[in-house]
Amino acid sequence: MDAFPTATLRSMKRSSDIGRTGTLAVTGGTPLRGRVRVGGSKNAALPMLAAALLTDGPTTLRRVPDLTDTGLMLELLRGLGASVEDDRGTVRIDAAHVRPGDRPFEPSPGRVAAMRGAVCLLGPLLARCAMSGGGSVRLATVGGCDLGPRPIDRHLAAFEALGATVARDHGGVTVSVDRLRGAEIYLSAPPAPGLPPAPTVTGTANALCAAAIADGVSVLHGAAREPEVVAVGELLNAAGARIEGLGTDVLTVTGVRRLRGVSGRCPAAVVPGDRIEAATWMIAAAATGGRIVVDGVEPSEVAAVAAALRASGARVSICGSAGHRSIRVDSCGRPTAFEVRSAAFPGLPTDVLPQLAALAAVADGTSLLTDDVFPDRNAHLSRLPRFHASVERAGATAVITGGDLHGGEVHAPDLRAAAALLIAALAAEGSSRIGRASVLLRGYERPAEKLRALGATLGAPNWRVGKRPAARPGRGGWRPAGPRRILGRTRPVSPETSACSALA
């Protein structure tokens, strides 16, 4: 097996990978090669941090990623009265002083407006009110990426089913409760007219937190099966909750009176690896003609992404032993056109469709990418043509005809669009500048350092330069430039001496 350089990354300060300018300069045309370890999952860490408000004693979480959004969540918890200690990814939360008073719980409206993940506080705070004999929670209108309509109606309907009262106004929502009582809760609904029903991930996490201390038994129908929901449920069970059916679309919750604190030594206190970050590096390797190994994520959680990459001609395999498995991606030459459609887990995540659009922009032929989860998610599609990509849209489907990309200047509108534009810049010939690139820090832990360790050429004022690997990776692979030809090593990877298998 080839030796891959490993980037050793330590976070001393949250979100310090980019400076105030927010502009990233990229020189494309170099295949990504090496080894990269993903951080903890943002989409699991946020509801897990919020769920720590439910426990009577201190709860310690490990592998909390160093992100703008997790930093905002920690500030929200402090503002609510929790004691929060943060030491390089190990976060200790003591919610002993988080109690309802004469006024509703109200997380900082300014921070709530900056992050949609703040909605994860509703369920735990409502449960905290019920544990104390009653109270209310006021949540301002949540912010986050503009992906089209993302109402929280199903969250509120779940709370109402459990016995809460909901009052809406133009500035947000107020949820009040005296006691929570077990109920039948239905969480799945079509994301848009004409589309099949889909579950809500944050809505499922909110309902779990509230139902965990409700009187009696609750059954959650149409629950999200995503690994992030499983992580929240396992943390609650470690605290004493009684949740059955995690990983399925029907969850049964038998309410308990109190939840105890969870030690950082407990396996359930470890935030799982970020499958969206892993997918992003996998797709970037395929788009640049590269060859990488991704560590720190459960391979089964990116199986749908692996299938999409195989459809584009890449080779994806698992290496290593149980508990220490890695994912190897080899582009095997220029990508070919493919068709994909987003779906709830275990289907293809909507959060990787923008990155796959960048891959389609350099593939031979015309690719079709359909987003049934967020059909109005198109900010990345309107910006890829800045790199000379050919993009059309037909309803929820993006029609992308691949070709040679060339450097361009563009501003990133949201987190995953920024990742897509970064991949396009890495695959393009020449230099590019991505404005507002700091949005990447909402979901990617030290992205510039990781990419530099894989051989990417990045440079921008105030971006900290990460430690270079001892030996720079070779420049084999294809370069998306000039006449559409394959350069360098494009032969399939020979069988490895270590245990490797096709990714199921």
* Shared-domain flag, residues 247 and 289: no
Instruction: Give domain status of residue 15, yes or no.
Output: no
* Shared-domain flag, residues 167 and 252: yes
Instruction: Give domain status of residue 5, yes or no.
Output: no
* Shared-domain flag, residues 129 and 277: no
Look at residues 216, 237, 269 and tell me which one is the last residue of a structural domain. 269
Q: How far is CA 337 from the centre of its chain?
A: 25
Q: What is the pTM of this model?
A: 0.86
pLDDT at site 336:
97
In contact, 96 and 72? CB cutoff 8 Å:
no
pLDDT at site 49:
98
Helix (H, G, I), strand (E, B) or coil at 55: strand
| DSSP state letter for 368 | E
Look at residues 269, 301, 323 and tell me which one is the last residue of a structural domain. 269
* Shared-domain flag, residues 215 and 114: yes
Instruction: Give domain status of residue 158, yes or no.
Output: yes
pLDDT in tens, the chain (504 residues): 333 233 322 333 444 455 455 899 999 999 999 999 999 999 999 999 999 999 999 999 999 999 999 999 999 999 999 999 999 999 999 999 998 877 889 988 888 888 889 999 999 999 999 999 999 999 988 755 443 444 788 999 999 999 999 998 888 899 999 999 999 999 987 666 666 678 899 999 999 999 999 999 999 999 999 999 999 999 999 999 999 999 999 999 999 999 999 999 999 999 999 999 999 999 999 999 999 999 999 999 999 999 999 999 999 999 987 778 999 999 999 999 999 999 999 999 999 999 999 999 999 999 999 998 888 888 899 999 999 999 999 989 999 999 999 999 999 999 999 999 999 999 999 999 999 999 999 999 999 999 999 999 998 544 443 332 333 233 333 333 333 332 232 323 333 323 333 333
* Shared-domain flag, residues 32 and 68: no
* Shared-domain flag, residues 329 and 240: no
Burial status of residue 250 (CB atoms within 10 A of its CB: 0-12, 13-18, 19 or more): exposed
Sheet holding 409-411, edge to edge: 409-411, 431-435, 24-27, 457-459
Distance CA 70, CA 56 (A): 22
Q: Take residue 243 and report the two structure tokens written for it.
A: 């949740």
Instruction: Give domain status of residue 137, yes or no.
Output: yes
pLDDT at site 195:
63
Owner of token pair 């990116």: 302
Distance CA 390, CA 357 (A): 11
Distance CA 320, CA 308 (A): 22
* Shared-domain flag, residues 251 and 167: yes
Q: Could you tell me where the beta strands, DSSP code E, fall in 18-155?
A: 24-27, 33-37, 59-61, 83-87, 90-94, 135-140
Number of domain units in the chain: 2
Instruction: Give domain status of residue 323, yes or no.
Output: yes
Instruction: Give domain status of residue 67, yes or no.
Output: yes
* Shared-domain flag, residues 339 and 484: yes
* Shared-domain flag, residues 347 and 466: yes
* Shared-domain flag, residues 231 and 175: yes
Instruction: Give domain status of residue 14, yes or no.
Output: no
* Shared-domain flag, residues 390 and 494: yes
Which residues are marked as active site?
Answer: 145
Look at residues 219, 248, 269 and tell me which one is the last residue of a structural domain. 269
Specify the CATH number for the domain of residue 290.
3.65.10.10
Report the 3 state secondary structure along 313-367. Answer: CCEEEEECCCCCCEEEEECCCCCECCEEEECCCCCECHHHHHHHHHHHCCCECEE
Q: Which domain, by its residues, includes 373?
A: 24-39+273-502
* Shared-domain flag, residues 204 and 335: no
Instruction: Give domain status of residue 378, yes or no.
Output: yes
